[in-house]
């Protein structure tokens, strides 16, 4: 017995075959009927081509589509159900149905009128004088049948409106071409009167255009209402369902593709990403890309074909032209990120991968009582504000500076682009937290989308989401910073050391030997010992961090709900208000500074935009930009400040790439302090190791493999551990103003940095094998796993191609380097922008080069040090 979905498809095929036959008959007959009408032949054929094309396209779509079709025999993947069949039609759906019914009636009437008119006027005469009659009948009948057919089962057939619109769009052009080139002196006999063909044709052109406008609007509204869409368009949403259907591939998939897409839609609505449109464009491109290869759109492809298409075009992208390869990779990256977010954030997947959220691990969790923080909501801010010192950004640099300036008696106003998310709002929902706490909801990437740059965007900046690991700046790096032949930073090393001490004491930086460690720490330390790396070669051990009393939930990167991470949000800003008064340390959230105001070496304040679009002008005696390594350069650039200074140049990173190791036995590396251990080579090797494992979504985004490989790897999530290699990169990256608005990060890793990375990865691989790993995987575009230390040599070649290996950072640095020389740096040793006496930059952007070790302590130490000079 045919399945219900198949029956619908078969009926559709029959209807369309009928239409096609009708049209084909017209085409065959037309040359005989119109043999004499040579002048109009091109228009005749164009008009005939319309219904023909319509019929063909519809048939072609039907042949490959599976709207609400069950599994195809032998198909491993259940077909996507594009529409929830159950439930009554929504209002916009009913409206779309009405539009189709009216349209169908209009065209049925047109077809009937054409036949009747021709008969009343004498068939032969009418056909001879007006060869379009038959074409009109055929075209109108085809459209009428299709409209009616779709309207009969709107839920099951709404996707057919797309081809209908696509083909119908040709019609007004044919009409216009007729008016421009055909013989328009003739008249039409209508009810005895002779009407010129021109107004009739114009009338049709206007009707056609109106249909082309109304039909898509009605169809779009119907799709959006059906799926409850607020962010994605119908085509993007369907592309997402189609991608989810094949990218998550394995037995017993826990979440249907439809629900994955619904999860993503909810998530995307909450993200305030400045380039979020890119994700819509990428999904639309994924949907339309098969058309270029002569296939229907992605969601219309049968799953097996869709999978083969993805493998061929996305997994092995065309190597030429390079732009196409690149765009293809962007599309698949975006699709994959979205799908995994929607899938693994759904708790129905967790039992299968062996993940238990902290709230269900049965371990008692102490909670530090939160300190009081007063943040002014955007709604309470007027059109103008005044301040003694305005600080742009509330992260590591901005908050320490705010504290120290307030201590020195200055009144500070901190303007923060991100929202104020209070610690009690932090949840175990990764995707929700990404959207609320991160810049672009963890999707900030370099301009070419090859390199992810994570930054916090909320009160507390990146410190709200970071791992709180503290390293003092390595001495050899500070030597280079101060070297007059290199960066000539002019730092007072003694004063900087005192500042670092002060910050460490203030934030209670301490070795994390009392924290609940990452469960894979035992393997990591055993590996360091067994691989023959003596403590003299590698200092592998517990990290120091501004964390006190960690209960080991493992959620550092989505905010510490327990108050044990002593971040700017938890400690520095509340302490500043407690110690010096909330009137002296004012904080406004959801307030993006767009421009620095002033001229002639002085700034007078800033212009900012509040969430909701309202502008606010802030006057100030001093302005300090602490917007982070990307944001600060961008703000200076868009304010036209420092045109002769190297603003945005020298951007660098601690570039990271993890190795994921499978131990074949339960490790539960997601449990415990997220980064509890690190490894620093004693001699400067250019890299460090950090133990690091994530809750499911973040880990899925870093998990090597495609399709079943990825799925199966995720099924072994609780048997794996990961360690990241961080390489301090050269300063060859740059922040620019993007043509589309916002900041662009230009970056391609140098071969030197990639070689350092490869060395680090190979050393780490040996350590993991020595610890007992059964296999080790590198996160690449393809799939690369190693079964023994002997195979690790392959990494040299794999890491040499930055397009192939997956790279990212949470540690952007530089862009407004500290240097006494304005040709080499943007700010002088007093942290003031060269040429300005009341504008300073204080954050990680002032680093003259990358540190290799984690940068927050250095950022905070420099902020403390800067405050002594700026106060
Ligand atoms: C996931 C993650 C983990 C990390 N782990 C560690 C770690 O364990 N140890 C470590 O040392 N470092 C870590 N870091 C890095 C560290 O947090 C940063 O180096 C540090 O916070 C940088 O401080 P900053 O002041 O330069 O910028 P941020 O702390 O990023 O603060 C900049 C602030 O400015 C705001 N802003 C930007 N533009 C504007 C504007 N135009 N108007 C208003 N506000 C604006 C931003 O929203 C942000 O809140 C991590 C980072 C991430 C993302
Ligand atoms: S693991 Fe991180 S988030 Fe969890 S309690 Fe410890 S510091 Fe806080």
Q: What pLDDT, in 10s, does the model give residues 318-339?
A: 666 767 777 787 888 888 889 9
**Tens of pLDDT, residues 136-187:** 677 788 888 889 989 999 988 888 888 788 777 777 887 788 778 776 677 7
Of 96-105, 285-294, 661-670, 797-806, the range with the lowest mean pLDDT is 285-294
In ligand 2, which atom is closest to the CA atom of 547? 7
**Tens of pLDDT, residues 513-572:** 999 999 999 999 999 989 877 667 788 899 999 999 999 999 999 999 999 999 999 999
Which residue carries 């004088």 as its tokens? 129
CA 781 to chain centre: 17
Q: How far is CA 179 from CA 36, 176, 196, in A?
A: 20, 5, 12
pLDDT value for 347: 95
pLDDT band at 756 (very low <50, low <70, confident <90, very high): very high
- Check pocket membership of 675 for ligand 2, CB cut-off 6 A: no
Query: For residue 208, is pLDDT > 90?
Result: no
Which residue's alpha carbon is nearest to atom 4 within ligand 2? 553
What separation in Å is there between the alpha carbon of 395 and the centre of ligand 1?
5
Residue 565 · residue 468 · CB < 8 Å: yes
Residue 267 · residue 432 · CB < 8 Å: yes
Distance CA 229, CA 93 (A): 13
Percent of the chain clearing pLDDT 90 (strictly above):
61
pLDDT value for 449: 81
Query: For residue 410, is pLDDT > 70?
Result: yes
Residues 702, 705, 706, 708: is their CA dihedral positive or negative?
Answer: negative
pLDDT value for 74: 28
Query: In the predicted model, what is the mean pLDDT of the chain?
Result: 87
Percent of the chain clearing pLDDT 70 (strictly above):
85
Distance CA 390, CA 426 (A): 28
pLDDT value for 598: 92
Query: For residue 195, is pLDDT > 80?
Result: no
pLDDT value for 383: 93
Query: For residue 128, is pLDDT > 70?
Result: no
Highest mean pLDDT among 105-109, 281-285, 482-486: 482-486
What separation in Å is there between the alpha carbon of 155 and the centre of ligand 2?
47
Structure tokens at 431: 């995707």
Residue 512 · residue 546 · CB < 8 Å: no
pLDDT value for 70: 28
pLDDT band at 674 (very low <50, low <70, confident <90, very high): very high
pLDDT value for 440: 86
Three-state SS at 81: coil
pLDDT value for 442: 84
**Tens of pLDDT, residues 257-311:** 999 999 999 888 877 666 678 888 999 999 988 888 878 889 888 888 898 888 8
Using CA atoms of 46, 51, 54, 55 in order, give the dihedral in degrees to the nearest 10.
-130
Ligand nearest to the CA of 636: 1
What separation in Å is there between the alpha carbon of 120 and the centre of ligand 2?
86
DSSP state of 456: B
pLDDT value for 68: 31
Distance CA 400, CA 859 (A): 9
Highest mean pLDDT among 71-75, 153-157, 322-326, 646-650: 646-650
- Check pocket membership of 555 for ligand 2, CB cut-off 6 A: yes
pLDDT band at 105 (very low <50, low <70, confident <90, very high): very high
Which residue's alpha carbon is nearest to atom 27 within ligand 1? 628
Highest mean pLDDT among 249-263, 313-327, 611-625: 611-625
First to last CA, the chain: 83
Query: For residue 686, is pLDDT > 90?
Result: yes
Residue 438 · residue 271 · CB < 8 Å: no
Which residue's alpha carbon is nearest to atom 2 within ligand 1? 466
Instruction: Identify which has the larger pLDDT, 252 or 229.
Output: 229
Query: For residue 402, is pLDDT > 90?
Result: yes
Instruction: Identify which has the larger pLDDT, 297 or 240.
Output: 240
Q: Look up the pTM and report it.
A: 0.84
Burial of 456 per CB tally in 10 Å (0-12, 13-18, 19+): buried
C-beta atoms surrounding 740 within 10 Å: 10
Ligand nearest to the CA of 418: 1
Ligand nearest to the CA of 634: 1
pLDDT band at 585 (very low <50, low <70, confident <90, very high): very high
pLDDT band at 599 (very low <50, low <70, confident <90, very high): confident
Average pLDDT of the segment spanning 215-231: 89
Instruction: Identify which has the larger pLDDT, 59 or 719.
Output: 719
Ligand nearest to the CA of 815: 1
What separation in Å is there between the alpha carbon of 91 and the centre of ligand 2?
47
- Residues contacting ligand 1 via CB (< 6 Å): 392-398, 415-418, 454-457, 461-463, 465-469, 557, 592-593, 626-629, 631, 635, 675, 810-811, 843-844, 854-857, 859
Query: For residue 34, is pLDDT > 50?
Result: no
What separation in Å is there between the alpha carbon of 563 and the centre of ligand 2?
8
Please compute Rg for the chain using Cα positions: 32
Helices (H), 130-186: 132-152, 154-157, 161-168, 170-181
Three-state SS at 380: helix
Helices (H), 569-627: 573-580
What separation in Å is there between the alpha carbon of 551 and the centre of ligand 2?
6
- Check pocket membership of 553 for ligand 2, CB cut-off 6 A: yes
In ligand 2, which atom is closest to the CA atom of 555? 3
Cis before residue 321, ω within 30 degrees of 0? yes
**Tens of pLDDT, residues 338-356:** 999 999 999 999 999 999 9
Q: How far is CA 479 from CA 132, 482, 485, 619, in A?
A: 85, 5, 11, 39
Distance CA 44, CA 632 (A): 63
- Check pocket membership of 560 for ligand 2, CB cut-off 6 A: yes
Which element (helix H / strand E) includes 279? Answer: helix 276-292
Distance CA 221, CA 349 (A): 32
What separation in Å is there between the alpha carbon of 474 and the centre of ligand 2?
26
pLDDT band at 496 (very low <50, low <70, confident <90, very high): very high
Which residue's alpha carbon is nearest to atom 15 within ligand 1? 811
Distance CA 405, CA 396 (A): 14
Distance CA 816, CA 803 (A): 28
Burial state string for 419-433 with b = 16 or more CB within 10 A and e = fewer than 16? bbbebeebebbbbbb
Average pLDDT of the segment spanning 640-669: 95
Residue 164 · residue 157 · CB < 8 Å: no
pLDDT value for 522: 95
pLDDT value for 843: 98
pLDDT value for 69: 29
Which residue's alpha carbon is nearest to atom 28 within ligand 1? 395
Q: Which residue among 456, 692, 843 is best mutated to probe the pocket of ligand 1, counting the most ligand atoms within 8 A of its Cβ?
A: 456
Which residue's alpha carbon is nearest to atom 2 within ligand 2? 556
Three-state SS at 701: helix
Q: Which residue among 427, 469, 507, 552 is best mutated to probe the pocket of ligand 2, counting the most ligand atoms within 8 A of its Cβ?
A: 552
Distance CA 769, CA 789 (A): 7
Residue 855 · residue 813 · CB < 8 Å: yes
pLDDT value for 36: 43
In ligand 2, which atom is closest to the CA atom of 553? 4
Which residue carries 């009616």 as its tokens? 148
Distance CA 421, CA 435 (A): 11
Q: Which residue among 675, 811, 861, 864 is best mutated to probe the pocket of ligand 1, counting the most ligand atoms within 8 A of its Cβ?
A: 811
Nearby residues of 753 by Cβ (< 8 Å), 6 or more positions away: 655, 727, 729, 730
- Check pocket membership of 565 for ligand 2, CB cut-off 6 A: yes
* Helices and strands per DSSP (H, E), number in the chain: 27, 23
Three-state SS at 31: helix
């Amino acid at each position: 017995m045919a399945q219900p979905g198949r029956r619908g498809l078969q009926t559709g095929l029959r209807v369309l075959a009928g239409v096609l036959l009708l049209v084909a008959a017209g085409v065959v007959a037309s040359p005989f009927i119109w043999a004499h009408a040579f002048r109009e032949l091109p228009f005749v054929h164009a008009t005939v081509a319309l219904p023909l094309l319509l019929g063909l396209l519809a048939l072609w779509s039907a042949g490959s589509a599976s709207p609400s079709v069950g599994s195809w025999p032998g198909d491993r993947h259940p077909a996507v159900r594009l529409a929830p069949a159950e439930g009554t039609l929504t209002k916009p759906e009913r409206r779309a149905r009405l539009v189709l019914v009216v349209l169908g009636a209009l065209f049925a009437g047109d077809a009937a009128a054409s036949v009747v008119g021709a008969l009343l006027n004498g068939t032969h005469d009418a056909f001879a004088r007006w060869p379009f009659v038959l074409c009109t009948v055929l075209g109108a009948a085809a459209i009428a049948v299709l409209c009616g057919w779709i309207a009969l089962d709107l839920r099951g057939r709404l996707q057919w409106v797309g081809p209908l619109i696509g083909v119908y769009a040709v019609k007004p052009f044919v009409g216009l071409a007729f008016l421009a080139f055909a013989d328009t002196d003739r008249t039409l006999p209508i009810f005895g009167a002779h009407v010129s063909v021109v107004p009739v044709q114009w009338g049709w052109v206007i009707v056609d255009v109106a249909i082309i406008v109304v039909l898509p609007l009605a169809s779009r509204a119907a799709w959006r209402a059906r799926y409850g869409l607020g962010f994605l368009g119908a085509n993007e949403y369907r592309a997402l369902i189609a991608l989810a259907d094949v990218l998550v591939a394995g037995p017993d998939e826990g979440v249907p593709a439809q629900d994955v897409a619904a999860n993503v839609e909810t998530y995307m609505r909450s993200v305030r990403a400045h380039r979020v449109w890119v994700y819509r464009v990428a999904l639309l491109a994924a949907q339309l890309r098969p058309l270029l290869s002569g296939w229907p759109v992605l969601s219309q492809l049968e799953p097996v074909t869709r999978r083969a298409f993805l493998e061929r075009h996305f997994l092995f992208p065309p190597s030429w032209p390079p732009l196409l390869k690149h765009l293809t990779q962007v599309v698949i990256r975006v699709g994959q990120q979205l799908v995994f977010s929607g899938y693994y954030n759904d708790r129905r997947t967790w039992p299968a991968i062996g993940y238990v959220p902290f709230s269900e691990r049965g371990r008692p969790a102490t909670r530090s009582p939160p300190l009081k923080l007063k943040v002014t909501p955007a709604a309470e801010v007027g059109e103008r504000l005044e301040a003694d010192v305005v600080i742009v950004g509330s992260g590591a640099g901005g908050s320490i500076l705010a504290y120290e300036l307030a201590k020195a008696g200055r009144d500070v106003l901190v303007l923060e682009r991100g929202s104020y998310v209070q610690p009690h709002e932090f949840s175990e929902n990764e995707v929700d937290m990404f959207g609320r706490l991160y810049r672009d909801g963890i999707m900030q990437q370099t301009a070419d989308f090859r390199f992810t740059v994570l930054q916090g965007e909320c009160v507390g900046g990146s410190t709200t989401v970071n791992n709180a690991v503290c390293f003092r700046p390595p001495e050899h790096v500070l030597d280079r910073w101060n070297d007059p032949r290199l960066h000539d930073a002019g730092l007072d090393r003694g004063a900087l050391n005192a500042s670092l001490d002060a910050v460490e004491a203030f934030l209670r930086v301490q070795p994390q030997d009392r924290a609940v460690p990452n469960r894979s720490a035992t393997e990591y330390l055993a590996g360091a010992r067994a691989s023959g790396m003596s403590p003299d070669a590698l200092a592998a051990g517990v990290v120091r961090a501004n964390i006190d009393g960690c209960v080991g939930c493992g959620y550092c990167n989505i905010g510490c709900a327990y108050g044990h991470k002593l971040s700017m949000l938890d400690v520095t800003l509340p302490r500043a208000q407690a110690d010096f008064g909330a009137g002296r340390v004012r904080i406004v959230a959801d307030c993006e500074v767009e421009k620095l105001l002033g001229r002639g070496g002085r700034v007078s304040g800033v212009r900012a935009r509040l969430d909701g679009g309202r502008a606010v002008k802030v006057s100030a005696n001093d302005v300090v930009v602490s917007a982070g390594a990307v944001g600060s350069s961008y703000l200076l650039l868009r304010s036209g400040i420092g045109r002769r200074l190297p603003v945005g140049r020298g951007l660098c990173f601690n570039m990271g790439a993890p190795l994921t190791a499978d131990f074949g036995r339960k490790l539960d590396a997601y449990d415990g302090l997220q980064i509890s251990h690190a490894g620093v080579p004693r001699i400067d090797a250019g890299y460090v190791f950090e133990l690091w494992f994530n809750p499911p979504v973040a880990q899925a985004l870093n998990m090597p493999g495609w399709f079943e490989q990825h799925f199966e790897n995720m099924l072994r999530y609780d048997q794996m551990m990961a360690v990241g290699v961080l390489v301090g990169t050269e300063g060859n990256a740059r922040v620019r103003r993007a043509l589309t608005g916002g900041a662009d990060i230009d970056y391609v890793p140098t071969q030197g940095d990639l070689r350092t990375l490869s060395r680090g990865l190979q050393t780490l691989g040996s350590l993991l094998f020595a610890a007992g790993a059964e296999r080790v995987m590198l996160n690449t575009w393809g799939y690369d796993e190693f079964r023994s230390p002997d195979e690790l040599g392959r990494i040299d070649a794999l890491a040499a191609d930055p397009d192939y290996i997956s790279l990212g950072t949470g540690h952007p640095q530089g862009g407004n380097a500290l240097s006494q020389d304005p040709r080499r740096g943007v700010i002088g040793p007093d942290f003031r922008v060269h040429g300005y006496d009341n504008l300073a930059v204080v954050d990680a952007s002032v680093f003259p080069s990358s540190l290799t070790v984690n940068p927050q302590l250095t950022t905070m130490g420099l902020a403390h040090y800067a405050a002594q000079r700026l106060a």
